[in-house]
Amino acid sequence: MKTTHTTNYYNTFIAVAEDCPATMGEVPQLKAGTKSIANLEFELMSRHPYAFTSDDILFQVFAERNQLDQAGFTEARAVLFSKGQACLRSSALGKRYGWGIHFNEEGKVALFGREQPEYQQLARDTNLKQLKAMRSKRSK
């Protein structure tokens, strides 16, 4: 039986990275007219709060960037998660663009800009596992 890896968290808040330059949540810009991974993640999470898990987001971005046909989604998802994937702590949304990511008890995600009162509430919630997005630069 193949191992299935997951990037899902439950009852968790990922705060922005310590070295994040954004003072508020910023919409990721297109790069040379093309949507970046951050653009795609932002669209899914901001338009559909608490509709998707982290695994759902990562797979949808993978499928769109690789122009996968929906008929092959089940097999492609199994192949993708047969290997470990970087979790949303490594997303540019928390590293560069000022977005915190909340995972509810079902593992569904929503974004909150660091300037929002909800962000501050989530960052202080002792009932949530508190994590930080990964730093962009190594500390000295």
- In the chain, the amino acid numbered 138 is R
pTM higher than 0.85 for the full model? Answer: yes
For 15-58, what is each residue's pLDDT tens digit? 999 999 999 999 998 888 888 999 999 999 999 999 999 999 99
The overall average pLDDT reported for the chain is 90
Decide if pLDDT at 140 tops 60.
Answer: no
CA angle 89, 91, 97 (to 5 degrees): 115
pLDDT category at 104 given cuts 50, 70, 90 is very high
